[in-house]
Amino acid sequence: MPLRYPTAARGCGAAVERWIFPILSVLFVAVLLLLSGISGFKASTAFLDRRLAATDVRRGPAHLPSFAYYITGGRGDSSRVLRLLLAVYHPRNRYLLHLSADAPASERADLAARAWLSIPAIRAFGNVDVIGKASAMTPMGSSGLAATLQAASLLLRLDDGWDWFVTLSAEDYPLISQDGSPWVILSRSFVEYCVLGWDNLARTLLLYFTNVLSSQEGYFHSLICNSQDFQNMTVNSDLRYTAWDSPPTTEPHFLNMTDYDEMIKSGIPFARQFRQSDAVLDKIDRMILKRRYNKAVPGAWCSSQNRWIDPCSRWDNANIVQPTHRSEKLGKLIRTLLDEWESSTSSCR
């Protein structure tokens, strides 16, 4: 029933919103009760974390950019989604996790619990949510698109501070830490345009794309290229490293150790697709992200002296970043893309 999608895109945020808070608050209370019950654990710790977060994340035009991440997976993907979350986590950003309808509710609750327990910053900054009422999701169909638009609409309501919207799936992985420079995905104003649709084009295109395959890729591209306001502001790259077999099949091949050097050399901030727990992911964690098992990627915001256990168990200031060698490389890539963009009249051809 394609006619329902535009309304869904505008109205579903509220429905979804009703579902995320119960999960997190029920969990919060349950865990506190459990901890104070077993070991005399001081329930005040969680509130202390919250006070530390009050050191104020500064966002907006005068500050460093902030990203809204929408991370999706299916049944059995909760570990990968959590790993990906930790690999792109930064207190300044906002995260919305989604396991599609084929995953049981218990897996969704488990994901929320593990995210909540794994790093103190997530509890303190309260910037990670799990969608409790999942959408059916087929990667190729319009339901994936509808879910993305719902997520975008929800993120617009949850948080008024982010600048860029990034969608990742469980098969993606970052090749750069969050202390890197900004990369171009979808700007907040474009997301507002898609979701709130201040002219009819957004809705007309949505109707059309609910009827064709692979709608997600085509939708945003067509929309951006047909809109007066955005057509000249588009850089033609999704910033994902992929490798194709020859002859090419419908999906890029699963990246492994063999691809490591090329992947790193590219300077591209994300790569896809990976098999769950592939050894090359451990190598990226070790060599590039410096990320320990079940911990966030350490950045300039992490200030714990106890670097061996978890440098990000304490923080003083979430608003500082320290560019890395990799972020300089990304900067070069972005400049190349911008040069190409300036020299061509439009990337929409």
- Of the pair 283, 307, the CB lying nearest ligand NAG is at 283
Size of interface with ligand NAG, in residues (CB under 6 A): 9
232 binds ligand NAG (CB under 6 A): yes
Q: Which residues on neighbouring strands pair with residue 72, listed in sequence order?
A: 98, 169
Which of 34, 117, 213, 257 touches ligand NAG by CB under 6 A?
257
Residue found by looking up tokens 């050399």 in the block: 265
Decide if 312 contacts 295 (C-beta within 8 A). yes
Given CA atoms 286, 292, 295, 298 in this order, what sign does their dihedral have? negative
228 binds ligand NAG (CB under 6 A): yes
Helices (H), the chain: 5-39, 44-53, 78-87, 105-118, 120-125, 142-158, 188-196, 201-209, 215-226, 260-265, 279-283, 325-343
213 binds ligand NAG (CB under 6 A): no
User: Residue 193: helix, strand or coil by DSSP?
Assistant: helix
Which of 189, 258, 277, 294 touches ligand NAG by CB under 6 A?
258
306 binds ligand NAG (CB under 6 A): no
In angstroms, what is the minimal distance from the CB of 270 to ligand NAG? 19
322 binds ligand NAG (CB under 6 A): no
236 binds ligand NAG (CB under 6 A): no
C-alpha separations of 206 from 5, 67, 218, 238, 339 in Å: 7, 24, 10, 20, 31
Give the range of 34-42, 206-214, 225-233, 234-242 binding ligand NAG by CB under 6 A. Answer: 225-233
Give the range of 117-125, 193-201, 252-260, 298-306 binding ligand NAG by CB under 6 A. Answer: 252-260
Q: Give the chain's largest Cα–Cα span.
A: 66
- Of the pair 127, 273, the CB lying nearest ligand NAG is at 273
Token pair, residue 312, equals: 């990000």
Which of 181, 237, 242, 256 touches ligand NAG by CB under 6 A?
256
User: Residue 17: helix, strand or coil by DSSP?
Assistant: helix
Which of 253, 313, 320, 323 touches ligand NAG by CB under 6 A?
253
In angstroms, what is the minimal distance from the CB of 171 to ligand NAG? 14
- Of the pair 15, 279, the CB lying nearest ligand NAG is at 279
> Residue 105 corresponds to which amino acid?
A
Residue 1: count other Cβ atoms within 10 Å of its Cβ: 6
Which of 55, 231, 266, 319 touches ligand NAG by CB under 6 A?
231
Q: What is the dihedral of CA 320, 236, 155, 106, to 10 degrees?
A: -100
Q: What region, left, alpha or beta, does residue 306 occupy, with left being phi > 0 and alpha being psi -120 to 50 degrees?
A: beta
- Of the pair 85, 281, the CB lying nearest ligand NAG is at 281
- Of the pair 232, 303, the CB lying nearest ligand NAG is at 232
309 binds ligand NAG (CB under 6 A): no
Q: Which residues bind ligand NAG (CB under 6 A)?
A: 228, 231-232, 253, 256-258, 345-346
